[in-house]
Each structure stands twice: as C-alpha cells, then as structure tokens.
Amino acid sequence: MPPPIGPEVDAIPRPLPVHTPIRGQYVSLEPLHRRHTGELWQAAQGADESWTYLGAGPFASAEAMARHVADVAAVHEPMFWAIRPITTGVVAGWLALADIQPRNAAIELGNIWFSPRLQRTRAATEAIFLMLKLAADDLGYRRLVWKCNALNAPSRRAAERLGFTYEGRHRMHMVTKGRLRDTDWYSIAGDEWPRCRDALLAWLNPANFGPDGTALHGLAELRGRLA
C-alpha cells in the first residue's frame, strides 16, 4: 500500500489583501495612519489593562503612541486597519491581517486592540467579521488563524464565540515584554467558514437585537441552527 498523502487542493496562490477602507453596517475600517493617533490616544485613557497581552502599549504619551502607529502603518505585514464605529464616528481600536501565506491560502487575524468603548459592541464583532470575510470570501484563503497568549482568557473566549476551533498550545513560544508566553492556536478551516459567516451575518442583523440593544440570539446558538 502506498503511504497516505493529503488531499489535492486548488494550489493557486491567493491574492494579497489590498489596504483600502472597508465599510459595514456598524463600523468603518480605515488603513491605520498616524493621523488616527489623537482619537486612539483618547480611547486609550484609563485602559492600561487592555494592553496586557499585546506586544506594545500602554503608551506613556500621545507621541509614543504616534511613533508606534507610524511604525506599524509603514509595513505591509501585519496590515493594520483603524476601527471607526459609525454610531460615534470616533476611532476606538485597531486590528490586522498577519502571517499572510498566499501559497498556503492561510492568513491570521491578530494584533487586535479594542478600547473599552469598543469592547462587546456590534461594531467590534463586525470589524472582525469584515476582516474574515475579506480573507475568506473576497480573497479565497481557506485557513483563518487566531493566536493568543494562553493566559488571555477573553481572547480565548472570543475565538470560541466566533467559531474558531482550538488546535493546541505552543509552549514557551515567545517572549513578550520580557515575559515568557505560551500561545494558543485556533482556526477556521475549509468548509467551516460558511457556517461561521452565516451565523455572524444573522447575529449582526438589526432584527437580532431587542429595544435595549441586547442580542436575542448568540453566535453559538445561531451556528447550531445552521449545522
């Protein structure tokens, strides 16, 4: 018997993302730029804990944040977008596409910083959805990756809520801010995406929210209905 081998796939390299604005129902994503620093600095006030598991921040001054923003905005990968909720019109966070592998059709959503005013909002969920949709539907990537510090319980919960599957832990994976980090890996792969996408679309539908803005149905419930 011949040794087992993996299935054949479409091996055409996927396109690289184009760094352009993206608009949804609740949020606009804009290529991150130094001019966003003023709004980001204001969003970061009193939010030092929101930087705990990130490689950068908190920043000692607006100038320090501006230098960081200018640095990350000047590279093609990771590719950062600023997040502007439509309800407020004020930038309140950022996120990025990273580890872009066109030949493997694999891409990571990461470097996510949501200020407290953005956390647990429709705009936050839609920002993530728009990035995943760009990667999977528009560009054809078949492996969507989420990685986080193994101690970052909110990020692990977010990955599971969105429909990512836990793949395992890389022990002593890296050093962040002088501290050893284990990294948990998650993915949405192949034909898992359509169900996650449709559940996200159903969750984001205005009809899914009551008069007080509370979601009537959670993402896990909506995915279950589509199984």
Please report the DSSP string for 13-80 in residue order.
Answer: PPPPPP---EE-SSEEEEE--GGGHHHHHHHHTT-GGGGTTSSS---SSHHHHHHHHHHHHTSSSSEE
**pTM score:** 0.96
Give the pairing of strands 179-189 and 27-31.
unpaired
The CATH architecture to which 22-226 belongs is 3-Layer(aba) Sandwich (3.40)
Q: How far apart are CA 184 and CA 155, in angstroms?
A: 10
Domains of the chain, residue spans: 22-226
Angle between helices 219-226 and 193-204 (to 10 degrees): 130
Closest alpha carbon to 24 in 128, 107, 113, 95: 128
Distances (CA, A) of 138 to 16, 17, 101: 11, 9, 15
First CA to last CA distance, the chain: 36
Q: pLDDT tens track of the chain, all 227 residues?
A: 989 999 999 999 999 999 999 999 999 999 999 999 999 999 999 999 999 999 999 999 999 999 999 999 999 999 999 999 999 999 999 999 999 999 999 999 999 999 999 999 999 999 999 999 999 999 999 999 999 999 999 999 999 999 999 999 999 999 999 999 999 999 999 999 999 999 999 999 999 999 999 999 999 999 999 98
